[in-house]
Amino acid sequence: MQTIRSIFHLKKIITQLKQKNKTIGFIPTMGDLHEGHCSLMRNSRRENDITILSIFVNPTQFGPKEDFTKYPREEKKDKLLAKKEKVDIIFFPTEEMLYPKDYLTYIETLNISTILCGKNRNNHFKGVTTIVGKLLNLVEPNKIYLGQKDAQQAIIVKQMIKDLNFSVTTKVCPIIREKDGLALSSRNKYLSKKDRLEASILHKALKDTKKEVLAKNIKTSKKAKAKIKSLITKFSSGKIDYIECVNTKNLENITNLNGKILIALAVKFGKARLLDNITINKK
């Protein structure tokens, strides 16, 4: 595995790979890698000649009161894991490299970036689309790999790729979970023992509600959301940020449960804001 720390070096290698007609799979990350990231790496390895992983804790996607400075930075551990997963190139850009002092340009996907997680996280998705756009220009991959846990992020990135004519296809890989159903996330580390135990209710609530929607032919999102809310409040002290039923492609709100529906939620347990979601295909 090659470790690259400069844009100049990266560009040189990308040019060589392109000359050799190698296909490139790309996994953008903020590090603190876990099984969720490993599944993206494995997908990329299977589907491309070369797998490139970037690690960069992107300051522009954190709000002023968020955990940017505290976000786990585990370079040694991450490198070992990426090597074990046979990543070919690991790219560690620096803040100075990506956002020099005279930096002025941002990418913003309107509307869908200010709902759900974007409602309480001002400019979060603007930071995400900006950094992903920049990394796509640097890495020039054939395929980018994202996780379904951050469903809104994946939909927004896909929209940006389409709108700005990036020549890359997106693969969204399934959520990887702990044994009790909790979706893997770097932020699970922030959970207290009690919250960690309670947090498994998120997936259980989504799963049970999906079952009921299908078995009992529940027709409205209002009912489905109420069921999820009652389970979460009954079995945990988590503070619900949102529970929404939306269109799986454009995140539009859904009131009548018909066709493909994404139920997405965000719940706060202490300092950790956890995300989860489930897709229902209702005929």
Judged by the rule CB under 6 A, the positions of this chain that interact with ligand PAF are 28-30, 58, 61, 128, 131-132, 150, 153
For ligand PAF, the closer of residues 175 and 261 by Cβ is 175
For ligand PAF, the closer of residues 61 and 221 by Cβ is 61
Catalytic annotation present for 37: yes
Residues 26/17, Cβ–Cβ less than 8 Å: no
Shortest Å distance, C-beta 56 to ligand PAF? 7
Shortest Å distance, C-beta 121 to ligand PAF? 11
- Residue identified by tokens 């790496």 is 41
Shortest Å distance, C-beta 282 to ligand PAF? 29
Which residue is catalytic, options 9, 34, 37, 124?
37
Reduce the DSSP state of residue 251 to 3 states and report it: coil
Annotate 160-187 with DSSP letters as a single string.
Answer: HHHHTT-S-EEEEEPPPB-TTSPBP-GG
Shortest Å distance, C-beta 4 to ligand PAF? 17
For ligand PAF, the closer of residues 152 and 209 by Cβ is 152
Helix, strand, coil in percent for the chain, rounding step 5: 40, 25, 35
Which segments of the chain are extended strands (E)? 2-4, 24-29, 50-55, 89-91, 143-147, 169-173, 239-247, 259-269, 272-282
Reduce the DSSP state of residue 199 to 3 states and report it: coil
Enzyme catalytic residues? 37
